[in-house]
Amino acid sequence: MNAGYDMPDYVLPHSLEGERERLRLMSRLLDPMHRRHLAALGVGSGWRFLEVGCGNGSVAQWLATKVAPDSLAVATDIDTRFLDGLAGPNLQVRKLDILHDPLEEGAYDLVTARAILHHLPGRAKAVERMISALKPGGRLLIIEPDFFPALVAEPLIARSFWQSWLDWAATENIDYFGRSSTAAPPGPTTGASRSRSCANRSSHPAK
């Protein structure tokens, strides 16, 4: 197996049968909401974008198209097998393990990630590293599923379904509620909502 396709600790690796279709459906379901949040942040010409855990790269592709030709979108994933079709003069594809691989500091106007933190035991470190990649005044957009409403869903059969899903997730070390993660240290970002989606503005000093 190509080293670029190594996902040893990921519960839903890209090697699973039907994974390309799953990512396509996820993009169809979630990209419109993701794009609305990005547009609300005022993404514009000349920006440098980083997408962490981009899956099939649909969001990075949209960013590259929206901000072309004088901006740069960098699509990263720990497994890049579904990114071969991405192309453009202002679009780069990179293999990146957000917890361990080198990452430029103070290099991006916007960093975004969707539905990856609940898979990471070191989520606080991942967020710290994403923040450090921002330029002063850069924006961080992280979108994560919010399962708290599922715990009180009606009817009961719906609640039972989601409780079964959460019980399975716990056996696979998927932590939707952040219970196994220490809190990120106080920092310069503000304006985060409860993990459903958060848009943070960083004003950390230049490195």
pLDDT value at residue 14: 56
Per-residue buried b or exposed e for 64-82, using 16+ beta carbons within 10 Å of the residue's own CB: bebbeeebbbbbbbbbbbb
Domain assignment present for residue 162? The answer is: no
Burial category of 187 from C-beta neighbours within 10 Å (exposed 0-12, middle 13-18, buried 19 and up): middle
- Give yes or no for a contact between 185 and 179, defined as CB atoms under 8 angstroms apart: no
Q: Which CATH number goes with the domain that contains 69?
A: 3.40.50.150
Amino acid at 31: D
State residue 176's pLDDT score: 75
In a domain, 159, yes or no: no
Residue 156 falls within a domain, yes or no? no
Domain that holds residue 191: 3-147+176-201
User: Is residue 17 assigned to a domain?
Assistant: yes
> For each successive 10 residues of the chain (207 residues), what is the average pLDDT?
46 63 91 95 92 95 83 94 88 95 97 92 93 97 85 85 81 70 36 35 35
User: For residue 57, is it left (φ>0), alpha (ψ between -120 and 50) or beta?
Assistant: left
140 with 206: CB under 8 angstroms? no
The one-letter amino acid code at 91 reads L
- Is residue 109 in a domain? yes
Report yes or no on 10 lying in a domain: yes
Residue 207 lies in a domain: no
* The pLDDT of residue 186: 35
Q: Residue 88's pLDDT is what? A: 86
Number of domains in the chain: 1
pLDDT at 69: 74
- Specify if 171 maps to a domain: no
